[in-house]
Amino acid sequence: MWNKKQESGKGKKLKAEIVELICLSFIISVFFFLFLDFTSASIADTYLESREIVLTSIQERTLDAWMKTVCFLACVILFHVLFLVLFGQKISYLLLITDGIRKLQENQMDFVIQVEGTDELAELAESINFLSKSQRELQRKERELKEEREALIRSLSHDICTPLTSILSYSEYMGNKNQFEEGEVRECFALIHKKAEQIQVLSGQLLGKEMRRPELVENGLLLIEQMAAEWEESLEDSFVCELDFSQCKNFQIYADINEMRRIFDNLLTNVEKYASPAVKVELAVKTVQDNLVVTQRNKKKAPEKGVESHKVGMTSMKGIVKNYGGTVEVSETEDSFQIEISLPLFREL
């Protein structure tokens, strides 16, 4: 009931303004009529006296009626002109609002209607501005979600390539070898199985079926040593690798194992693509206060012509580390490259 009364009160604002304009135009027209009537009567009397013309009573009434009719018509015209001039502002404002509605229909949201007054037209302008702002915000969020989804797809697609390459390498190695020791076969199959599981998890995340699963890792040092060993094993045929755990103490960390593996896979891919085999590649892991710091250093090889880096792996790694509240710092010169990853320890996500 209160809302209906409020809406009814608001509905009278524009009507009241129109009535005010009509009254103002009418009052001005009445004064103009009286002025014309008085002036025309004075002019007629002066003219007749100067010419010594005497009119009969019928002629006087006829002349008076004729002059009043002319004055009335002039006042009617003045009333309409005044009303249209005074109401013209509202008409132009209404046209501006109509143009805003047209832009809304055409999905053109980069406009703002200036709010004038407090009547229904002003409220309509505010509503249109609100709809335009809401639509712009919705489009911005949709664009951000689309960009995030595309970045996730690029990142996961890139990260799938590393374990897939490992599976192909192990398969090729086994296919080219004539004799196998039982332990070697088991080790190869275990590695292939591990990489296949990693691809399965990444594929699930790509399809939206798998979510991040951080868990408490009690023996963080052992986990990092295993991943560093896999990193070294994948590179040892082409690079001289040096691991340094001298400043790393055992630690606990809340982390998703697959995401940690993706970090080392991206470090591995970066070495394979851009590092010079002539100089050793260093991987240092240390604990500094409440942070785990992983540093990889290598010399850069000469860039290959026609090969352009899109830095998808670096973007993927930064995104993973950011989810843990960590940082990735890259130091690069003309012939050397260093990346330092810092992850917080003893922190539940």
Of 85, 108, 131, the residue at which a domain comes to its end is: 108
In the numeric block, which tokens belong to residue 124? 């309509």
Contact between 297 and 244 under an 8 Å Cβ cutoff? The reply is no
Does 94 reside within a domain?
A: yes
pLDDT over 80 (residue 212): no
The CATH number linked to 317 is 3.30.565.10
Lowest-pLDDT range of 30-34, 203-207, 212-216: 203-207
- Nearest alpha carbon to residue 320 among 264, 273, 253: 264
Range of the domain at 231: 214-349
pLDDT digits (tens, 9 = 90+) for 297-319: 999 888 766 545 557 778 888 88
Per-residue pLDDT band for 296 (boundaries 50, 70, 90) equals very high
pLDDT over 70 (residue 76): yes
Does 181 reside within a domain?
A: no
Does 280 reside within a domain?
A: yes
**3 state SS for 167-236:** HHHHHHHHHHCCCCCHHHHHHHHHHHHHHHHHHHHHHHHHCCCCCCCCEEECCHHHHHHHHHHHHHHHHC
Number of domains into which the chain is organized: 2
Does 40 reside within a domain?
A: yes
pLDDT digits (tens, 9 = 90+) for 120-150: 777 888 888 888 888 888 888 888 888 877 7
For residue 241, the tally of other CB atoms under 10 A from its CB is: 18
pLDDT at residue 4, as a whole number = 43
pLDDT digits (tens, 9 = 90+) for 90-129: 777 778 888 877 877 777 777 777 777 777 777 888 888 8
pLDDT over 90, % of the chain = 13
pLDDT digits (tens, 9 = 90+) for 218-234: 888 998 998 898 888 88
Does 348 reside within a domain?
A: yes
Does 149 reside within a domain?
A: no
Alpha helices, DSSP H only, in 52-119? 57-105
pLDDT digits (tens, 9 = 90+) for 241-256: 999 999 999 998 888 8
Does 75 reside within a domain?
A: yes
